[in-house]
Amino acid sequence: MTNHVVIIGSINIDNTLHVARLPQPGETIAMTGFSQAPGGKGANQAVASARSGAATTFVGRVGDDNNGWLMIEKLKKEGIDVRHVVTSHTLPTGQAYILLQESGQNSIIIDHGANYQVMPEDVAAAAEPIKAASFVITECETPIPAAAAAFQQAKQAGVRTILNPAPANQRLTPELLTHTDIIVPNETESGALTGVPITDAASLQANAAYFRDRGVGIVIITLGEKGAYVATPDRAQLMPAFSVQAVDTTGAGDAFIGALASELQPNLSNLTSAVQYAQRASSLAVQGLGAIPSLPHRQAVLAAAQENE
């Protein structure tokens, strides 16, 4: 059965500045190139979900500008339901400015724009698709009150929730965590939120315990090239990553989350294989430039899995 995924999240235009390395304080360096692509954590996750075969609905906001119309058309072309994407007449479409190093690592500066106008009223207007969803996903590039409202609404309807607490600069409210079934931070975000930097197995366990003590059912901490740490009420395991040459890590976590939501059964019975599928999708995404342009389709993920068997 095809999953139905509803995403409450951000829509940005990504402006990528290609550099050999990050400049030091006071230093001026030249770009080696510039590229622009559709992005935003919410939009990335929605496209990743749709390309992996899930029926996908988006709840968010864009500005009344060329970037906004471009993003709506892009999401439509991916087969995503955009009836709950509202146009703001006071703020522009969000933008991200990405410093992409030759190593594939990136640093990102966000201009939230219309994304910060996503409110509980937008969530209430999307009550019908939320009630019919297999999973509801949100992240922290839109305001926490909207995320909390979405998860409360989902749990009242018996729908599973997935929280991507990125960027980790907003306080996760007890209400939001209580209604979170699965949380998926990367190691940096998790350490920032818990106050326990991840350096070893003990700190991984401490981070997972922090979230589980606050009502989260399953904790998945992504560790880049080291894999993903998965903690459930019954067990915890480190699942190794697939070894690839990363070109651009922008959107790697979004590729993971969108693919996970499309593959995971709502009863969570196939958690291990769904995480492996998500890892495979993420490993393919980092081998291309840009977030949305590099997100793989389901056929590519399955083909890559067959090649490595």
The residues that are catalytic are 254
Distance in angstroms (rounded) separating the CA atoms of residues 119 and 107:
28
Q: Tell me: is residue 186 an annotated ligand-binding position.
A: yes
Cβ atoms of 135 and 159 within 8 Å: the answer is yes
Q: Would you say 141 is a known binding-site residue?
A: yes
Residue 215, annotated as binding a ligand: no
Is 124 annotated to bind ligand?
no
Contact status, residue 53 vs residue 298, Cβ threshold 8 Å: yes
The answer to the question of whether 254 is labelled as a binding residue is yes
* 13 labeled binding residue: yes
The answer on whether 114 is annotated among ligand-binding residues is no
Is 44 flagged in the annotation as binding? yes
Q: Are 126 and 153 in contact (CB under 8 A)?
A: no
Judge whether 169 is annotated as a binding position.
no
Q: Is 294 annotated as a binding residue?
A: yes
Tell me: is residue 178 an annotated ligand-binding position. no
Q: In what order do the strands lie in the sheet with 218-222?
A: 81-88, 55-63, 4-8, 135-139, 160-164, 182-183, 218-222, 228-231, 236-239
285 is in an annotated binding site: yes
Q: Does 60 count as an annotated binding residue?
A: no
Find out whether 290 is annotated in a ligand binding site: yes
Residue 226 annotated as binding site: yes
223 annotated as belonging to a binding site for a ligand: yes
172 and 144 Cβ atoms separated by less than 8 Å = yes
> Annotated binding residues, as ranges?
12-14, 40-44, 141, 186, 222-227, 248, 250, 253-254, 285, 288, 290, 294
> Annotated binding residues for ATP, as ranges?
186, 222-227, 253-254
> Annotated binding residues for substrate, as ranges?
12-14, 40-44, 141, 254
> Annotated binding residues for K(+), as ranges?
248, 250, 285, 288, 290, 294
